Amino acid sequence: MPKPVLTTPDLIWIKLHRRIGESIEAQQSGQLAEYWEVLAHHFGLAKEWAKALDYHLKAGRKAQNIYANQDAAHHFRQALKAAEQTPHSEARQLTAHERLSDVLATVGDYDNALAHIKRARELVSEAGFSSKDAVCRRADLYHKTASIYEKKSDYDTAFEWLHKGLKLLKGMEVIEAARIYLLGGGIYHRRGNNTEAIEWCKKSLATAEKIESREKNSVIAHAYRLLGLSWSRLGDSDRAIEFCLQSLDTYRQIEDVTGAAEAHINLGVGYFNQGNWPQATEHYLQALEIKRKTGDVYYQAVITLNLGGVYLNQGGLDQAAYYNQQSLGIWQELGSTYAIALLHNNMADVALWRGKYDEALSLLQKSLALFQEIESTDFLPEVCRHLAQAYQGQGELDQALEQAQRSLALAQEQEMRLEEGASRRVLAQVYLARNELGLAEQELQKSLQILEELNSRYEVGQTLFQSSLLYRQQKRSSEADFALHKAIAIFEELGARLDLAQAQSLQSSLWPSQKLKLSDSQTLDSTSERSKL
Give the CATH number, domain containing residue 93. 1.25.40.10
Q: Measured between alpha carbons, how far is 186 from 193 in angstroms, rounded to an integer? A: 10
Within a domain: 437? no
Closest CA to 268 of 279, 256, 257: 279
- 38: in domain: yes
Residue 34: how many CB atoms within 10 A of its CB?
11
Whether residue 478 lies inside any domain: the answer is no
Does 515 map to a domain? no
CA distance 84 to 106: 26
Domain membership of residue 263 (yes or no) is no
The dihedral sign for the CA sequence 195, 200, 203, 204: negative
- 231, part of any domain: no
pLDDT of residue 3: 55
Q: Omega before 381 cis (within 30°)?
A: no
Degrees, nearest 5: CA angle 344-456-345: 5
The answer to whether 469 and 522 are in contact (CB under 8 A) is: yes
* CB-based contacts of 426, cutoff 8 Å, min separation 6: 385, 388, 389, 404, 407, 525
The count of other CB atoms within 10 Å of the CB of residue 326 is 15
Which pLDDT belongs to residue 215? 87
For residue 60, is it within any domain? yes
Domain count, the chain: 1
Altogether, the residues listed in the chain come to a count of 533
500 membership: H or E segment, kind and range: helix 497-508
Distance in Å from the first CA to the final CA of the chain: 54
d(CA 3, CA 67): 39
pTM of the model: 0.75
CA–CA dist 114, 309 (Å, integer): 32
- Give residue 115's domain range: 8-120
CA gap 388, 361 in Å, rounded:
9
Answer yes or no: are the C-beta atoms of 442 and 419 closer than 8 Å: no
Q: Is residue 16 part of a domain?
A: yes
pLDDT tens digits for range 398-428 = 999 999 999 999 999 999 999 999 999 999 9
User: What DSSP state is assigned to residue 67?
Assistant: T
Residue 524: DSSP 8-state: P
- In degrees rounded to 5, what are phi and psi of residue 66? -105, 15
Closest-CA residue to 339 (of 187, 114, 110, 532): 532
Count Cα atoms within 13 angstroms, Cβ side, for 163.
Answer: 7
The distance of Cα 291 from the centroid of its chain, to the nearest Å, equals 13
Ranges of residues in the chain with a pLDDT under 50 are 1, 510-533
For the stretch 89-112, pLDDT in tens is: 999 999 999 999 999 998 889 999
**Residue type (1 letter), 359:** E
Burial of 4 from C-beta contacts in 10 A (0-12 / 13-18 / 19+): exposed
- Would you say 303 and 288 are in contact if contact means Cβ atoms under 8 Å apart? yes
